[in-house]
Structures are given as structure tokens and as C-alpha cells.
Amino acid sequence: MENNPNPSKVSAPALIGRAGGESGRQLIVSALDHGTVIDHIPCDRLFEVINLLHLQEMTSKVTIGFNLKSSKMGTKSIIKIADRFFTDEELNQLSIVAPNVSLSIIRDYEVVEKKQVCLPDDLRGLVRCNNPKCITNNEPMPTLFHVADRQRAIIRCHYCNHEQNINDVKLV
Amino acid sequence: MNRSLVTIANHSREKIEYLLQMAQEFERHPNRLLLQGRVVATLFFEPSTRTRLSFETAANRLGARVIGFADPKVTSGTKGETLKDTIMMVSNYADIIVMRHHLEGAALYASEIAPVPIINAGDGANQHPSQTMLDLYTIYQTQGTLDNLNIYLVGDLKYGRTVHSLLTAMRHFNPTFHFIAPDELAMPENYKQYCREQGIRFVEHQDFDSDVIAGADILYMTRVQRERFTDLMEYERVKDRYLLKLDMLSKARPNMRILHPLPRVNEIEYAIDDDPHAYYFQQARNGLFAREALICDALGITLEQVQEDKTIL
């Protein structure tokens, strides 16, 4: 199923491994030759990841697996995006909704880089302030948050100074 | 450079002392033509008569002309205009905008978009830097220094914006704070944590009597508001416990002064008004000098220019 020209190197993960088995049924999802794989997405966060990266607006091939078995997580989701490499800034946005995803950069069917996301110092236009009396909730303007305490995952609104935990945030 | 004044939380000791010196110049000579030909806009998206009159008096006594509104009901905001549009429109007319808004962060946002400087005259529960400046000026004026003072904060320490700002601004001056409040309105943990991080000493009291306040240099009273209580029985129980009575001043230090951001309701017995420790009306008067300094600083007028000013009336 995977077309790996050099078996000694790490091959890019196919979306569905060896499917079908004895039954002979197979869901064929071709391996990625160039692009980005986002693995270990919690299933309840999949659609937020899609929104954050604006995948619905992409023209290249995007393969999404939902409710897949995972030994680490029980169930997980995975997204493969062909011919698209994201900036660290774009990928680090994911830290808000799915801080533990695994990112693989694929070139010529090979994983050339693996990455983790990390919480950026500033979050612009991503998160809603949980203070109803904050100007950002009452004026057409982008929100801005600064990380106040990285260890406790606390972010602070640039405008009204209210703090909230990153795990409780609502996206804009 | 954006010379707006949104908060003084990040002001250095030097900057605070610089502004206090400027206020002192204005106390000496409050009436000048330093701002002749300038237009100051006062936009009060939320009514606040006391603060507005103080800012408008400051502008008028320096020779500026004042435009603006005192009541949000007469503005386009009620027609659905955004804050940005109002600020951009007024920026075409005025050299500086003094604004009060019920939404938190409104002044910071305005300062980011406006081509003219913004002075925050209060944004919801967030910041009210001119109140803090006049408090600092009053403390300096009555004690001759800001250093090493014993400052007693009484009343609503939970929601009181003024006490939180004062606490933050005093961090440069090695103060000892005493917090006197009912449990429901006690100083929030994050401010106590702030004190620990900044090395600010603080003591908490439940009782409020002549012995407790005997060590005070400044007794800063605030209003205990009925609407802050979820349990009105609790309010009835504590409201008179934080009333300052004349006989409680028997052991007070001679230099001790009683401050209050006003309006007062029943926190300070009226008999105290004539006592030499009472200072809240002079404190309000200092608002004029502090605001003259803040307007000039935001317009780029330096202390040196104020000192060498030839327009004194």
C-alpha cells in the first residue's frame, strides 16, 4: 500500500494502515508524497483544528480520519494535507485546542521532520475573552492574549487584563 | 510615539515622581495659557460628573477649549456606531481625547487606533490612572514622601479599583499595607500574591478601632456598597463596622491623613470633616493639579517647559 522507495528510512504514515485483513476489504488511502500529517488529534477537537488551519478553504487534497483506534489515546483523529507546509506560527495555534498533536513533514514519501506544537507568547485573533464587559466582546476587533503563566497555562487579555486557563478557552 | 495614558501600572518610580513634580508646579500656579489654541475632547460614554468636571476644569484653567459629551445617550453609540468610528471622528477635531467607558480595555483599544493621545478616565472595573495619580500626589503632599509609609486600606478591597491601583503604584516605595475589610470584600488573593512577589509587607485585620489604626500614616477609606453583597443580612451586619467615627482618631499619629475617593455615603462620620486628619476634600482638589499634569504630559509638554512657562496668569 505504501510506496516507499527506500525502506531503510522512516516512511510517511498512511492514514489507514493495513486495512481489511482477512476480509479482503480495503480502504485505500494513498500515502502522502509531499505535505503535512497531523496525528493524535483528540476527536472532540478535530473540527477546531480544521477551522484553525482553514482547511475547508484548501484546494489541495486533504484526508481526514475520525474516530480511529489509538493505543495511546483510545480514539484519535488524523489529518493529512497534501502539498502544504505550514509555518510554525500557523501550527502553534493548535496548542490552544490540541497541545499534544504530532506533526510530521513529508517530502518524497519520507518523514523529514517531526514537530510538537508549543504555545506562542501572543495569541492574536484566535481566542474569545471570557469577560463579557471586555471591549473585544463589544467591538468588531481582533482579540489579543499574552501568555501570563506558561506552566499553569494562564493567558491574559491584552485589553481588559482578565486571565483564563488555556484549557477553558473558546475560539473566536 | 504614542503618549496616551491608559494605565500607570507600568510607570517607573522616576516617571511617577516626574508627574508628581509637574503636579506640584500646577498647584503653585494652576491658571495658565499653556494650552491656548488646543482643543481637549472629553468623551464620557459612561456618566461620571466628578471626574469629568475635574478634567474639564484642568483643561480650562490651562487655556484649552473643551468639546465632548457627558452622557452616552446623546452619542451615536446609541445608533450603533462603533467606538472606533467615534474615536476616529473626534480625532479630526481634538488634540487629545479624555475618555471614560464602561467597557474594560476600551481606552487601550482607543489608544491603539487614535492618531491623537488618549487619557483613560476610567474603563469599567479595569483602570483609572488619574485617580491613582491624585492619590499618590495627596500622599506625597501630606507626608512629604512616598517612601516607607504605613497605608491602611479600609472597606471594599475586593472590587475597589482605586485600592488595587494604589497598591500597584506604591510598589516602588517600600510601603506597609494594612487591609481592613469584611470577609466578603477582602483583598483578593491575586493582589496578596502580587504583594508577596513584589516584597510588599501587608497585614490583614478584621477589627476596625482606634488601636488598629494607631500606626497609620494614611487611612484610605472606601465605600462598602450594598449591591456587592449576595447576602443582604451580611451587609447589614458589617456596614457599620467599617464606619470611621471621630473617637476612633484618639490614638492617631499627628501626620495621619484620611483619604477617600468620594462619593462618601456613610463611611466617615460627618463630625470628622473638621478634624485636622480629614483630607478627602483637599484630595479631590489635587485631582485638578494631577490632571493638569497628565494632560500636559500626554501632549508632549515637559516638566522643564512647565517650570519655564511664561503664560502663568
pLDDT value of position A27: 56
Determine, for residues B105 and A134 on separate chains, whether the beta-carbon distance falls below 8 Å. Answer: yes
This prediction's pTM: 0.86
CATH 3.30.870.10 for domain B13-127+287-307, yes or no, is no
Is the pLDDT assigned to residue A6 strictly greater than 50? no
pLDDT value of position B2: 79
- Is B38 an annotated catalytic residue? no
Residue of B nearest to A142 (CA): B109
Taking residue A42's Cβ as centre, other Cβ atoms within 10 Å add up to 19
What distance in Å separates the CA atoms of residue A2 and residue B107, rounded to the nearest whole number? 58
pLDDT value of position B93: 97
User: What is the distance in angstroms between the Cα of A130 and the nearest Cα belonging to chain B?
Assistant: 12
pLDDT value of position B241: 85
Q: Mutate which of A124, A139, A157 to disrupt the B interface (most B C-beta within 10 Å)? A: A139
pLDDT value of position A26: 55
Pick the CATH number of B130-283 from 3.40.50.620, 3.90.10.10, 3.40.50.10190, 3.40.50.1370: 3.40.50.1370
Closest CA to B67 of B55, B81, B80: B55
Question: CB of A75 within 8 A of CB of A67?
Answer: yes
Mean pLDDT of A124-153: 94
Question: CB of A109 within 8 A of CB of A31?
Answer: yes
Domains and CATH numbers, chain A: 21-116 (3.30.70.140), 122-171 (2.30.30.20)
Nearest to A157 among B83, B84, B105 (CB): B105
What distance in Å separates the CA atoms of residue B141 and residue B41, rounded to the nearest whole number? 29
pLDDT class of A2 with cuts at 50, 70, 90:
very low
pLDDT value of position B99: 98
Residue intervals of chain B classified under CATH 3.40.50.1370 are 13-127+287-307, 130-283
Is the pLDDT assigned to residue A17 strictly greater than 50? no
Which of B61, B128, B223, B277 is the catalytic position? B128
Each residue's pLDDT tens digit, B253-305: 999 999 999 989 889 999 999 999 999 999 999 999 999 999 999 999 999 99
pLDDT class of A22 with cuts at 50, 70, 90:
very low
Higher pLDDT, A12 or A150: A150
Cβ burial B93-109 (10 Å sphere, 16+ → b, else e): ebbbbbbbbbbbbbbbb
Which residues of chain B are under the pLDDT cut of 70? 1, 76-77
For residue A148, list chain B residues with Cβ-Cβ distance below 8 A.
none
pLDDT value of position A11: 53
Nearest to B104 among A134, A140, A141 (CB): A134
Nearest to B84 among A139, A157, A159 (CB): A139
Q: ipTM for the complex?
A: 0.89
Is the pLDDT assigned to residue A29 strictly greater than 90? no
Average pLDDT, chain A: 85
- Is B79 an annotated catalytic residue? yes
A112: helix, coil or strand? strand
